[in-house]
Every structure is written in C-alpha cells, then in structure tokens.
Structure 1
C-alpha cells in the first residue's frame, strides 16, 4: 500500500461490549465522538457501530484506547 493510500484510510473506533462496564472515561476523553446512554455506556454520536475517527482526533482516540480500564476500545485501521 502506498503512503497516500494509507493516509486516505480513516480509522474507526470499536467498542467491545463484552468488556465495557460503563465507567464513561472514554466519553470524557472523546466527547467529539462519544456520548453516554442512560446507563453510562458509551455510544457514538453518529449512531454507527464503529464510528469514524477524523484525522485531528486520532491522537485523542489512541489516548482513550490506552486509558480504557477494561480494554474495551480498539482503533481499527484497515491495512
């Protein structure tokens, strides 16, 4: 894959619902992408299953993935 093709790929944020316990840290770290439902679980603001992470927000998404206490977040980047 060329460098231009790699840059054109938009990463997505995946939430593993079997691991998540609704602490809400991710929605605090990524308010641009996530909100919380009535029980405190994260939900994407665009209501998608895996929300797209725009370029300027990728570094914050990586930080949220690293800080998730239940390891429920993954940044999916297609190769």
Structure 2
C-alpha cells in the first residue's frame, strides 16, 4: 500500500531557489530558513539518480542521506518500571 521512501537532507545556499525547485524531486517535509537545509522524501528506487541530479543544481552545497528508516524503533525493556516509585 505504501511506497518505500528514503529521506534526504539537502544543504543549500539560496532559499528562494530551493523552495521552488526541490518540489520537483520529491515531497519536501521541512525547510529551515535559518540553517539553510531541507528535509526531502523521495522514492527509494530513484535514490541514486535523484542525489546525482540534486548535486548538479547550482544552489545545492551538500546532499546527505537520512538513516531514519534504519534506526530501530521497537524497544524492549529488561529493567523493571520505576515510575510507581516517583508518583505522588
């Protein structure tokens, strides 16, 4: 049902050009005006060719891959729950 997506962090120098042109390559999740980066989600099958196209843009400084989908999100607790000791 859901397509496999990969996240990219795109560092740029021109905010106006980035907001207009990055939407062509995938869905823009967040743009930081102060730190000049954008979080972008693209199809995982087109990851390599999209990175190459983004690096060719004149306003792009650096493109980094996000490892968010590779981080384990299921946690197991081997220690007992201590919240009952701290309640009023």
**Class of the TM-score when normalised by the shorter of the 2 chains:** 0.3 to 0.5
* Larger of the two Rg values belongs to structure: 2
Higher relative contact order (CA 8 A, sep 6+): 1
What TM-score do the two structures reach when normalised by structure 1? Answer: 0.42
Q: TM-score, normalised by structure 2?
A: 0.39
